[in-house]
Amino acid sequence: MIEYLLLTLGVLIMIFGAIGILRFPDVYTRLHAATKCDTGGAMNILLALAISIEAPLLTKLKLLVLAFLIALINPMISHAIARGAYKSGIKPQTPVVDMYAWDNP
């Protein structure tokens, strides 16, 4: 029962992430949608698989290791993309404040 709930939640989170990538205005706000929704959706789906699979305990633990690696790597990649985009000259659109441009003119 609970694995269907987790699977539905993961797929819904992925769909809202895709809508966010299509609707947000610039690179940085799109990265918000990509990073968080991918991490949350993939972790929910992997948790549902780990609960529902018919296998010994160590195979379930391997799926949890995969979820841990996704949670470790995904924010790092988004940080690298955001910093690379800023260094190559893509400015955020309509910012309230941009303190990074104050310190790195």
Q: Which residues bind other proteins (CB under 8 A)?
A: 13, 16-17, 19-20, 23-25, 28-29, 31-33, 35-37, 39-41, 43, 58-59, 61-62, 65, 71-72, 75-76, 78-79, 82-83, 86, 92, 94-101, 103
Token couple for 34: 């990509």
**Nearest distance from residue 105's CB to other proteins, in Å?**
14
User: Of 13 and 48, which has the nearer Cβ to other proteins?
Assistant: 13
**Nearest distance from residue 104's CB to other proteins, in Å?**
8
User: Of 1 and 56, which has the nearer Cβ to other proteins?
Assistant: 56
Phi and psi torsions of 10, nearest 5°: -65, -45
Q: Which long-range contacts (CB under 8 A, 24 or more apart) does 69-76 make?
A: 70/39, 70/42, 70/43, 70/46, 71/39, 71/43, 74/35, 74/38, 74/39, 75/35, 75/39
